[in-house]
Structure 1
């Protein structure tokens, strides 16, 4: 049984059953009986040199995609947030149903997000630089945390998602070398979100973006709830995206220089 099957089973069990404790017992047995999963995760990472990994984090509409567009394929492996996967799970638009009825679909959606994010982390590359649009860490510390604080998901659902997150951290190499935080005021990203007119986001209120902003600040700036992760570069991304070109190029140069320094240190 591979990691995709484990998560798929969890989604199926939750959507079709009211007995969460029984479902967790089934999933626990599946994990313990599947030594090949752990072996694959450790083996894949042991047999290859890990690239310098950068997580690009920030609120909805902060400019992550624009920033990543400044890196070409010869420079880095760029992995975009898998929005299209969330829009089409065997014909089901989980992103759309999340915004329509978050209390019904919040747990299911975040379960699938963890799966797709894990797949991003485990994506292999021959390039020395890997950039990811968000990570399993922001999924847990910002989006899942917000659902729980807002009482959209229950304590039991939060426990399941948190246990999966801790299992992932224990058994897979999902740590990064650098985080680029595109810090943006909620009012600014709200206007950008309305301008891009993504149909699933039409019903998203400003208050939701304010909550996500506060959680990003807690995680990446204050370190008040959890310890700060790896080194964080904070970028003021409030200006018009057309005027952010110079700042994005500056940060790109910092990343490339840091990578070059590490490569040089290893060779010496």
Structure 2
């Protein structure tokens, strides 16, 4: 689950994914490891607070530690018994949104971002459990997110400006919901191909896109994203129908992704050829990349039990 600061990710996970009949027995909730960022080591350092207080000093340190905690969290949550894992944000929102933002703000210098990039790709290649089968993008305007942030009053966010939220919003949009015209330097997306022999439910048909583009990370090319409108201020404790509508959309998206994973790539290619359509490259199933020469000990390979549950990454 992806989205801007204060868009409503926690409410979405708690009120919709955790409290509705449609999702309660289907979904394992994995919240963002904020508590790990607020309490580091025996001296209880708060790296989140340090980053907001001195971003130029701590941007790289914070983003590095965020990645490490997401890896730890993925491993800790991989043994769940429910078929769907909904994770709050992912290593790709780190790379596509937050690292870009701090670099453009000159809080992360060229050497630091080169170091980040030098280990990001190899580590993600070795840990396919970090690669989601689909994204859910909770979409709201920066002004709405800013108002919600002011209401929740998280101590570390006191210095977060509306301008920063606007920058993060633009980066989320260019990644997960770009203009189809490709203007303004944003990435392009295409609607799901009609020739694939399974259909989207009408409730989500106009809200699901494949991610693609020259600047999209190769690991998430052609991964589907469900875009949900979170602009309205809905009281989910009272508006039960709205709550269930969101839950139904998530459940339908899960079924779609599940079916997509079950369709062999060769079959999709054959169908595309029959229909005169260009072949669609479906997202890989997360096979483990192993360096040439098999430098990993066998015991280490056996311990890498990735994807017991399908990995949806949240925002």
Q: What's the TM-score once normalised by structure 2's chain length?
A: 0.62
Unmatched segments (≥5 aa) in structure 1: 1-55
Question: How many angstroms apart in 2 are the aligned matches of 1:59 and 1:114?
Answer: 18
Structure 2 stretches lacking a partner, 5+ long: 19-23, 179-186, 189-213, 265-315
Asked if structure 2 preserves the Cα contact closer than 8 Å seen for 1:220 and 1:229, the reply is no
The structural deviation recorded for 1:264 is 8.8
Distance in structure 1 (CA, Å) of the matches to 2:83 and 2:248: 19
2:251 aligned to 253, 257, 262, which one?
Answer: 253
1:164-208 per-position Cα deviation (integer Å, ceiling 9, x unaligned):
211222211021111110011000000000000001001110000
The residue that corresponds to 1:27 in the other structure is none
Higher relative CO (Cα under 8 Å, sequence separation at least 6) belongs to 2
- Measured in 1, the distance between the counterparts of 2:3 and 2:70 equals 15
Which structure 2 residues correspond to residues 174-253 of structure 1 after superposition, within 5 A? 174-222=130-178, 223=187, 226-227=215-216, 230-242=223-235, 245-253=243-251
Structure 1 position 259, deviation (Å): 6.3
Deviations 1:45-82 (A, max 9, x none): xxxxxxxxxxx000001111111122346322211000
How many residues are aligned here?
A: 211
2:6 to 41, 61, 66: 61
SS in 2 for 1:241: coil
TM-score, normalised by the number of residues in structure 1: 0.72
Structure 2 residue matching 1:192: 3-state secondary structure: helix
Compared with structure 1, are the counterparts of its residues 205 and 264 closer, same or farther at alpha carbon in structure 2 (3 Å cutoff)? closer
Q: Is the Cα–Cα contact under 8 Å of residues 179 and 231 in structure 1 kept in the other structure?
A: yes
Corresponding position: 1:93 with 2:64? no
- Give 1 or 2: higher helix fraction: 1
In angstroms, what is the RMSD of aligned CA positions?
A: 2.2
The answer to whether the Cα contact below 8 Å between 2:17 and 2:247 also exists between their aligned partners in 1 is no
